[in-house]
Structure 1
Amino acid sequence: MQQPVQQTIDELVESGEELGIQVAVYRNGELVVDAVAGIADPATGRQVTSDTPFFSASTGKGVAATVVHVLAERGALGYDTPIVELWPEFGAHGKEKATVRHALTHSLGVPAVPADLTVRDLADWDAMCALIADSEPWWEPGTGTGYHAVTWGYVIGELVRRATGRPISQVLRQEVAEPLGIADELYFGVPEPELGRLARLVDAPGTAEMLAAMPADLPLFKATPPALTPSAAYGNNPTVLTSDIPSGGTMSARAVARMYAALLTEVDGIRLVPDARLREITALATAETDRMVGFPTPRALGYNLGRPGTDPQQTPTVFGMPGMGGSAAWADPATGISFALTKNRFFPGPSTAVDRIGALIAETATR
Structure 2
Amino acid sequence: MSTQSPQVRVQQWLDEWSASHDYCGIQVAAYFHGKQIINACSGMADPLTQTPVTTDTLFLAQSCSKGVASTVVHLLVQQGKLSYDDKVAKYWPEFAANGKEKITIRQVLCHTAGIPLMPDHTDMDLICDWDAMIREMEELSPIWEPGSKPGYHGLTYGWILGETAARADGRPFPRIVQEELCRPLGIENELHFGAPPEAESRIAKISGEELPIALLPDDHLMKKVLPVRVVPIRNPEWNEPLFHQAAVPAVNGLMTANALARMYASLFENGADGVRLLSPVHLEEATRLQVDRIDEIMQVKTRLALGYALGSAELADAFGGPHSFGYAGIGGMIGFADPVHSFSFAILTNRMTSARDAVAADTWFASRVRQLLELR
Bin of the TM-score, shorter chain as denominator length:
over 0.9
2:246 maps to a residue whose letter is S
**Which residue of 308, 316, 322 corresponds with 1:316?**
322
Between 1:70-79 and 1:344-353, the stretch displaced more is 344-353
1:362 to 358, 370, 375: 370
Query: Which of 336, 343, 352 in structure 1 is aligned with 2:349?
Result: 343
Does the 8 Å CA contact 1:153/1:245 hold for their aligned counterparts? yes
- Aligned partners of 1:17 and 1:307: how far apart in 2? 32
Asked if 1:325 corresponds to 2:331, the answer is yes
| 1-structure distance, mates of 2:31, 2:317 | 23
Distance 1:154 1:48 in 2: 30
CA distance in 1, matches of 2:256, 2:180: 18
Q: Does 1:306 align with 2:311?
A: yes
Q: TM-score by structure 1 length?
A: 0.94
Q: Could you tell me which residue of structure 2 aligns to residue 222 of structure 1?
A: 224
Q: Would you say the 8 A contact 2:192–2:254 is kept in 1?
A: yes
CA distance in 2: counterparts of 1:76 and 1:364, whole angstroms: 41
CA distance in 2, matches of 1:256, 1:311: 19
Counterpart mapping for 1:56-71 below 5 A: 56-71=61-76
Equivalent residue, structure 1, for 2:3: none
RMSD, aligned α-carbons? 2.0
Distance 1:326 1:215, change over 3 A: farther
Distance 1:234 1:341 in 2: 23
- Check conservation: 1:321, 1:328, Cα contact below 8 A: yes
Residue of structure 2 in register with 1:246 after alignment: 249
SS of 1:50's partner is coil
Partner amino acid, structure 2, of 1:199: A
Q: Which moved more, 1:231-240 or 1:190-199?
A: 231-240
User: After the TM superposition, which of the residue ranges 243-252 and 357-366 deviates more from structure 2?
Assistant: 357-366
Cross-structure match for 1:268: 273
The aligned amino acid for 1:32 is I
Q: Given that residues 34 and 274 in structure 2 are in contact (C-alpha distance below 8 angstroms), is that contact kept between their aligned partners in structure 1?
A: no
Give the drift of 1:216: 5.3
Corresponding position of 1:115: 120
What is the 5 A alignment of 1:143-182? Answer: 143-182=148-187
Look up the match of 1:285: 290
Alpha-carbon shift at residue 329 of structure 1 (Å): 0.6
- How far apart in 1 are the matches of 2:296 and 2:31? 34
Alignment of 1:192-203 (within 5 A): 192-203=197-208
Per-residue CA distance 1:27-52 (angstroms, 9 max, x = gap): 11100111111111222222111111
Unaligned 5+ segments in structure 1 are: none
- Give the unaligned 5+ runs of structure 2: 1-5
SS at match of 2:154: coil
CA separation of 1:312 and 1:345: change in aligned 2, threshold 3 A? closer
* Paired letter, 1:344: N
Give the equivalent residue in structure 2 for 1:236: 239
Matches within 5 A, 1:117-132: 117-132=122-137
Take 2:318 and 2:368, find their aligned partners in 1: how far apart are those partners? 17
Aligned to 2:161, the other structure's residue is in SS state: helix
The offset of 1:323, in angstroms, is: 1.0
Q: Deviations over 1:194-253 (max 9, x none)?
A: 11111111114xx36x45555655311133210122337353132211101101111100
CA displacement at 1:192 relative to structure 2:
1.5
Q: How does 1:101-112 map to 2 (within 5 A)?
A: 101-112=106-117
- Cα distance between partner residues in 2 of 1:142 and 1:182: 35
Residue 346 of structure 1 deviates from its aligned partner by 1.5
Equivalent residues of 1:76, 1:163 under 8 A apart: yes
Provide the rounded CA distance (Å) in 2 between the counterparts of 1:292 and 1:157: 22
- Using the TM superposition, name which of 307-316 and 77-86 deviates more: 307-316
Report Cα offsets for 1:321-358 as digits up to 9, x if no partner.
11122211111111111100011111251412211101
- Establish whether residue 25 from structure 1 lines up as the match of residue 33 from structure 2: no
Aligned length: 364
TM-score by length of 2: 0.91
C-alpha deviation, 1:111, in angstroms:
0.5
Residues in 2 aligned to 1:20 and 1:73: alpha-carbon distance in whole angstroms: 36
